[in-house]
Structure 1
Amino acid sequence: MRSKDRISYFYDGDVGSVYFGPNHPMKPHRLCMTHHLVLSYDLHKKMEIYRPHKAYPVELAQFHSEDYVAFLQRITPDTLHLFSSDLARYNLGEDCPVFENLFEFCQIYAGGTIDAARRLNNQLCDIAINWAGGLHHAKKCEASGFCYINDLVLGILELLKHHARVLYIDIDVHHGDGVEEAFYFTDRVMTVSFHKFGDMFFPGTGDVKEIGEREGKFYAINVPLKDGIDDASFTRLFKTIISKVVETYLPGAIVLQCGADSLAGDRLGCFNLSIDGHAECVRFVKKFNLPLLVTGGGGYTKENVARCWTLETGVLLDTELPNEIPDNEYIKYFAPEFSLKIPHGHIENLNSKSYLGTIKVQVLENLRYIQHAPSVQMQEVPPDFYIPDFDEDEQNPDERVDQHARDKQIQRDDEYYDGDNDNDQNMDD
Structure 2
Amino acid sequence: MAHHLILSYGLYKEMDCYRPHPASAGEMTQFHSEDYVHFLSKITPDSLRQYHTSMQRFNAGETTDCPVFDGLFEFTQLYTGASLDGAVQLNTGQADVCINWSGGLHHAKKSEASGFCYINDIVLAILELLKVHARVLYIDIDVHHGDGVEEAFYTCDRVMTFSLHKYGDFFPGTGHIGDVGAKDGTGFSVNAPLNSGITDSTYFNDLFKPVVEKIMQVFQPGAIVLQCGADSLTGDRLGCFNLTLKGHAECVKYVQSFGVPTLVLGGGGYTIRNVARLWAYETSVILGKENDISNDIPFNDYFEYYAPDYELHLTPESMENLNGKDSLKSVRTELLQQLQNLQGAPSVQMQEVPPPYERVNPEDQDKNADDKSGSSGGSKKRKTHSAELYDKVD
TM over 0.5: yes
In the alignment, residue 254 of structure 2 is paired with which amino acid? F
Equivalent residue for 1:112, pick from 61, 67, 82: 82
Tell me the CA shift for residue 322 of structure 1.
1.3
Q: 363-372 vs 250-259, which deviates more?
A: 363-372
CA contact (8 A) 1:271 1:347 kept: no
2:304 and 2:343 map into 1 onto residues whose CA distance is 52
Match for 2:11: what amino acid?
L
Matched, 1:206 2:178: no
Corresponding letter in the other structure for 2:42:
R
Matched, 1:68 2:68: no
CA distance in 1, matches of 2:391, 2:48: 34
Q: 1:410 and 2:379 equivalent?
A: no
List aligned pairs for 1:1-400, cutoff 5 A: 33-93=1-61, 94-198=64-168, 200-236=169-205, 237-320=207-290, 321-387=293-359, 390-392=365-367
Residues 17 and 391 in structure 2, CA contact (< 8 A), matched pair in contact too: no
Query: What is the Cα deviation at residue 391 of structure 1?
Result: 1.8
Counterpart of 1:163, as a letter, is H
**In structure 1, distance between residues paired with 2:352 and 2:114:** 35
The question of whether the paired residues in 1 share the 8 Å contact of 2:358 and 2:383 is answered with: no
Secondary structure of the corresponding residue to residue 81 of structure 1: coil
Change (3 A) 1:371 1:345: farther
Report Cα offsets for 1:153-211 as digits up to 9, x if no partner: 0000000000000000000000000000000001000000000001x200000000000
The answer to whether the 8 Å contact 1:228/1:346 transfers is: no
Q: Distance in 1 between matches of 2:89 and 2:190?
A: 28
SS in 2 for 1:178: helix
SS at match of 2:218: helix
> Scaled by the length of structure 2, what TM-score is found?
0.93
Report the residue type matching 2:384 in the other structure.
Answer: Q
| 1-structure distance, mates of 2:368, 2:47 | 26
Q: State how far apart, in whole Å, the 2-side matches of 1:343 and 1:301 are.
A: 14
Aligned equivalents of 1:143 and 1:403: distance in 2?
Answer: 31
Aligned residues: 375
Tell me how far apart the structure 2 counterparts of residues 361 and 217 of structure 1 sit (CA, whole Å). 18
Paired with 2:9 and 2:96, the residues of 1 have a C-alpha distance of: 22
1:214-262 per-residue CA deviation (whole Å, 9 max, x = no partner) reads 0000000000000000101001110010011011100000000000000
Moved more, 327-336 or 101-110: 327-336
Q: Is the 8 A contact 2:159 2:188 kept in 1?
A: yes
How far apart are residue 412 of structure 1 and its match? 8.8
Equivalent residue, structure 2, for 1:11:
none
Cα distance, 1:79 vs. partner? 1.1
Q: Distance in 2 between matches of 1:148 and 1:53?
A: 18
Cα deviation for residue 369 of structure 1 reads 1.5
Cα distance in 1 for partners of 2:9, 2:268 equals 23
Tell me how far 1:375 sits from its aligned partner.
Answer: 2.5
Distance in structure 2 (CA, Å) of the matches to 1:223 and 1:344: 22
Q: Per-residue deviation at 1:347?
A: 2.0
Using structure 1 for the length normalisation, give the TM-score: 0.85
| Partner SS for 2:192 | strand
Structure 2 segments unaligned to the other structure (5+ residues) = 371-381
2:276 & 2:11 partners in 1: Cα distance?
14
Distance across 2 between alignment mates of 1:157 and 1:173: 24
Supply the distance in 2 between the matched residues of 1:371 and 1:82 (Cα, whole angstroms).
52
Q: What is the alpha-carbon distance in structure 1 between the residues aligned to residue 152 and residue 20 of structure 2?
A: 24
Does the 8 Å CA contact 2:13/2:391 hold for their aligned counterparts?
A: no
Distance 2:316 2:179 in 1: 30
Q: What is the rounded CA distance, in whole Å, between the counterparts of 1:205 and 1:213 in structure 2?
A: 15
Please give the alpha-carbon distance, in whole angstroms, between the structure 1 residues aligned to 2:83 and 2:317: 31
> CA–CA distance in 1 between the matches of 2:289 and 2:87?
24
The letter for the 2-side match of 1:287 is S
CA contact (8 A) 1:231 1:344 kept: no
Contact 2:232 2:240 (8 Å CA) reproduced: yes
| CA RMSD after TM alignment | 1.6
Tell me how far apart the structure 2 counterparts of residues 230 and 47 of structure 1 sit (CA, whole Å): 31
The 3-state SS of whatever aligns with 1:245 is: helix
- Offset of residue 282 of structure 1: 0.4
Structure 1 pair 412–102 and aligned structure 2 pair: CA distance change class (3 A): farther
